[in-house]
């Protein structure tokens, strides 16, 4: 038997690892110490030409299968670890066969879930983790991949510029089909719920789960999260005559489930309608405020920022989808944001932050569109907001502060429609 390397591009460096030694006994000086999840197989990290890789010792048939699946998932744009090579034909010094090795690129800045919970996580962290896993799961199912062993251990988590993303790390048990049936999806969810609940219970037993998180309802909630997200992401939105209301509704639904818009794609249909597809992402606290200030210089609260960015993203998708977001953001400030703020009479403008005015006008437009069941132009919404909301508000309800306080110190009451 001779050593064989299966790879798209086989790095000669690969041949010089001690393949005649079981992975467990590899000398420490070639091993890179990094956190790793629990697994049946032995996994260790090494550096190949300056790039850290994971080596998993596993039977040749399974190594090759997983290698192939990982290549296919990468080609389908699924967040997963990238396959580098399979090394087979290993024998030890006594001539006994050793298992093959699957080599994948180490996913930089990624953490196994136990490492995420090793410091004191906020209750929110467990939920964000689950949201990220749900999103990965929905994406896998959308491309026909049944995981058959979805768990927190078979996932890696990464925080990147405010986004919180889950990557598939263990594809061994999976299969790719042209399309998954509802039954196949249901079976996969059952396994995931069972695995994740067990993992959360383990964390709790080890004192690593925040007290506010109860493993059973949180684990079970994975099913509902999945179903809702599957429904929203697999229902394309039809837009007629540039009526943005259905798109706004769709984005709100996504937001209410804890997800954000990652990308909006719009295609024109023959009958003049537009078909919009949305992809989602999970973000960290404070992400929207940071993104808005970077793009527009507007420094606002997180929820306001999310609303403003949804408008900006919708504007970009419908006016200039290929333009860079910095350029579109500048134009959005000039053409959308400022005209609305400027339409509000000077005396009212001084009492409310411009971003809050904009936010409230959008809320009012939403409220009007829901009530009247039609698209409301922004000009119409501004006029109605000034007329029906600002002017009709009795002074004492609209304005906090004593009668003799100066204009600069009084604040408008927040207006809520939900
Ligand atoms: N490319 C990689 N980048 C970062 N970490 C990795 C990578 N590959 C493996 N790991 C780490 O090694 C752990 C075990 O890998 P994996 O789940 O593939 O092993 P396994 O033995 O097949 O697992 P199981 O027991 O679920 O069958 C992962 O949880 C992860 O922490
Ligand atoms: Mg695993």
Say if residues 147 and 140 touch (Cβ distance below 8 Å).
yes
Ligand 1 pocket member 276 (CB < 6 A): no
Write down the H helix ranges in 26-179: 60-75, 113-116, 123-142
SS3 180: coil
Q: Indicate whether 416 pLDDT > 50.
A: no
Taking each helix axis as running N to C, give the angle between helix 302-319 and helix 287-296, from 0 to 180 degrees, rounded to the nearest 10: 60
286 or 54: which leads in pLDDT: 54
Question: Cα of 46 to ligand 1 centre, how many Å?
Answer: 14
pLDDT at 220: 94
pLDDT digits (tens, 9 = 90+) for 136-176: 999 999 999 999 999 999 999 987 655 678 999 999 999 99
Task: Please state, in angstroms and rounded to a whole number, the distance separating the CA atoms of residues 25 and 42.
Answer: 11
Task: Please state, in angstroms and rounded to a whole number, the distance separating the CA atoms of residues 218 and 224.
Answer: 10
Residue nearest ligand 1's atom 26 by CA: 39
Ligand 1 pocket member 155 (CB < 6 A): no
Question: Cα of 262 to ligand 2 centre, how many Å?
Answer: 28
Ligand 1 pocket member 40 (CB < 6 A): yes
Q: Indicate whether 381 pLDDT > 50.
A: yes
Q: Indicate whether 110 pLDDT > 80.
A: yes
pLDDT band for position 351 (cuts 50, 70, 90) = low
Say if residues 200 and 218 touch (Cβ distance below 8 Å).
yes
Question: Cα of 61 to ligand 2 centre, how many Å?
Answer: 17
Ligand 1 pocket member 154 (CB < 6 A): yes
pLDDT at 161: 58
Task: Please state, in angstroms and rounded to a whole number, the distance separating the CA atoms of residues 32 and 45.
Answer: 5
Distance of CA 286 to the CA centre of its chain: 15
Say if residues 226 and 134 touch (Cβ distance below 8 Å).
yes
Q: Indicate whether 266 pLDDT > 70.
A: yes
Report which bound ligand comes closest to the CA of 110.
1
pLDDT at 287: 78
pLDDT band for position 126 (cuts 50, 70, 90) = confident
Residue nearest ligand 1's atom 1 by CA: 106
Q: Indicate whether 46 pLDDT > 90.
A: yes
Ligand 1 pocket member 53 (CB < 6 A): no
Q: What is the mean pLDDT of the chain?
A: 85
In 10 A of CB 402, how many CB atoms?
8
* Number of residues in the chain: 418
Report which bound ligand comes closest to the CA of 39.
1
pLDDT digits (tens, 9 = 90+) for 287-300: 788 888 889 888 88
pLDDT at 362: 87
DSSP-assigned states of every residue in 60-78: HHHHHHHHHHHHHHHHTT-
Task: Please state, in angstroms and rounded to a whole number, the distance separating the CA atoms of residues 233 and 230.
Answer: 5
Q: Which atom of ligand 1 is nearest to the CA of 170?
A: 18
Return the percentage of the chain with pLDDT > 70, whole number.
Answer: 90
pLDDT at 399: 39
Greatest mean pLDDT among 59-73, 210-224, 288-302, 360-374: 59-73
pLDDT band for position 400 (cuts 50, 70, 90) = very low
Residue nearest ligand 1's atom 23 by CA: 39
In 10 A of CB 15, how many CB atoms?
11
Q: How far is CA 333 from CA 320, 338, 368, in A?
A: 14, 6, 23
Q: Indicate whether 390 pLDDT > 70.
A: yes
Task: Please state, in angstroms and rounded to a whole number, the distance separating the CA atoms of residues 299 and 305.
Answer: 8
pLDDT band for position 214 (cuts 50, 70, 90) = very high
Domains within the chain, CATH numbers bracketed = 4-106 (3.30.200), 111-233 (1.10.510.10), 237-409 (no CATH)
pLDDT at 80: 96
Task: Please state, in angstroms and rounded to a whole number, the distance separating the CA atoms of residues 84 and 103.
Answer: 5
Burial of 224 (0-12, 13-18, 19+ CB in 10 A): exposed
Residue 89 Rama label (left phi>0; alpha psi -120 to 50; beta): left
Distance of CA 85 to the CA centre of its chain: 28
Half-sphere exposure of 23 (CA within 13 A, CB side): 19
Q: Indicate whether 403 pLDDT > 60.
A: no
Question: Cα of 166 to ligand 1 centre, how many Å?
Answer: 14
Q: How far is CA 56 from CA 86, 170, 323, in A?
A: 10, 10, 43
Strand partners, 176: 145
Ligand 1 pocket member 156 (CB < 6 A): yes
Ligand 1 pocket member 170 (CB < 6 A): yes
Strand partners, 105: 53
Task: Please state, in angstroms and rounded to a whole number, the distance separating the CA atoms of residues 222 and 191.
Answer: 11
pLDDT digits (tens, 9 = 90+) for 238-252: 888 777 788 888 888
pTM: 0.76
In 10 A of CB 350, how many CB atoms?
11
Ligand 1 pocket member 153 (CB < 6 A): yes
Task: Please state, in angstroms and rounded to a whole number, the distance separating the CA atoms of residues 102 and 157.
Answer: 21
Average pLDDT for 291-312: 86
Average pLDDT for 61-85: 96
Q: Which residues make up the environment of ion ligand 2, defined by Cβ < 5 Å?
A: 39, 154, 170
Ligand 1 pocket member 245 (CB < 6 A): no
pLDDT at 36: 86
pLDDT at 392: 64
Q: Which atom of ligand 1 is nearest to the CA of 149?
A: 26
- Which of 44, 53, 54, 112 should be mutated for ligand 1, with most atoms under 8 A from CB? 54
Average pLDDT for 50-61: 96
Ligand 1 pocket member 148 (CB < 6 A): no
SS3 35: coil
pLDDT band for position 418 (cuts 50, 70, 90) = very low
Ligand 1 pocket member 195 (CB < 6 A): no
pLDDT digits (tens, 9 = 90+) for 10-40: 788 888 999 999 999 999 999 998 888 888 9
pLDDT band for position 377 (cuts 50, 70, 90) = confident
Ligand 1 pocket member 314 (CB < 6 A): no
Ligand 1 pocket member 158 (CB < 6 A): no
């Amino acid at each position: 038997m001779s050593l064989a390397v299966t790879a798209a591009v086989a790095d000669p460096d690969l041949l010089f690892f001690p393949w005649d030694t079981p992975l467990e006994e590899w000398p420490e000086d070639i091993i890179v110490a990094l956190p790793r999840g629990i697994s049946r197989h032995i996994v260790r990290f090494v550096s190949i030409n300056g790039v850290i890789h994971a080596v998993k010792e596993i039977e040749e048939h399974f190594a090759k299968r997983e290698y192939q699946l990982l290549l296919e998932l990468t080609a389908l744009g699924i967040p997963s670890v990238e396959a580098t090579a399979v090394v087979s034909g290993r024998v030890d010094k006594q001539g006994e066969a050793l298992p093959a090795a699957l080599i994948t690129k180490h996913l930089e800045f990624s953490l196994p879930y136990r490492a995420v919970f090793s410091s004191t996580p906020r209750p929110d962290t467990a939920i964000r983790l689950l949201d990220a896993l749900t999103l990965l799961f929905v994406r896998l199912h959308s491309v026909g991949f049944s995981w058959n062993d979805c768990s927190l251990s078979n996932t890696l988590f990464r925080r990147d510029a405010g986004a919180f993303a889950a990557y598939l790390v263990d594809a061994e048990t999976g299969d790719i089909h042209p399309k998954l049936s509802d039954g196949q999806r249901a079976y996969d969810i059952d396994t995931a719920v069972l695995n994740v609940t067990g993992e959360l219970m383990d964390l709790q037993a080890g004192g690593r789960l925040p007290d506010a998180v109860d493993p059973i309802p949180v684990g079970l909630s994975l099913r509902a999260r999945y179903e809702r997200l599957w429904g929203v992401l697999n229902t394309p939105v039809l837009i007629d005559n540039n009526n943005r209301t259905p798109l706004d509704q769709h984005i709100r639904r996504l937001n209410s489930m804890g997800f954000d818009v990652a990308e909006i794609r719009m295609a024109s249909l023959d009958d003049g309608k537009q078909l919009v597809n949305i992809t989602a992402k999970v973000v960290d606290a404070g992400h929207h405020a940071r993104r808005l200030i970077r793009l527009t210089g507007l420094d606002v609260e997180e929820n306001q920022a999310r609303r403003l960015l949804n408008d900006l993203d919708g504007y970009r998708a419908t006016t200039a989808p290929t333009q860079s977001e910095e350029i579109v953001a500048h134009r959005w400030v000039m053409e959308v944001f400022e005209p609305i703020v400027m339409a509000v009479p000077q005396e009212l403008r001084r009492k409310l932050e411009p971003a809050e005015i904009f936010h409230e006008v959008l809320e009012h437009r939403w409220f009007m569109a829901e009530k009247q069941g039609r698209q409301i132009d922004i000009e119409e919404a501004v006029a109605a907001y000034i007329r029906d909301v600002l002017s009709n508000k009795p002074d004492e309800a609209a304005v906090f502060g004593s009668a003799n306080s100066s204009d600069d110190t009084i604040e408008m009451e927040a207006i809520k429609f939900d």
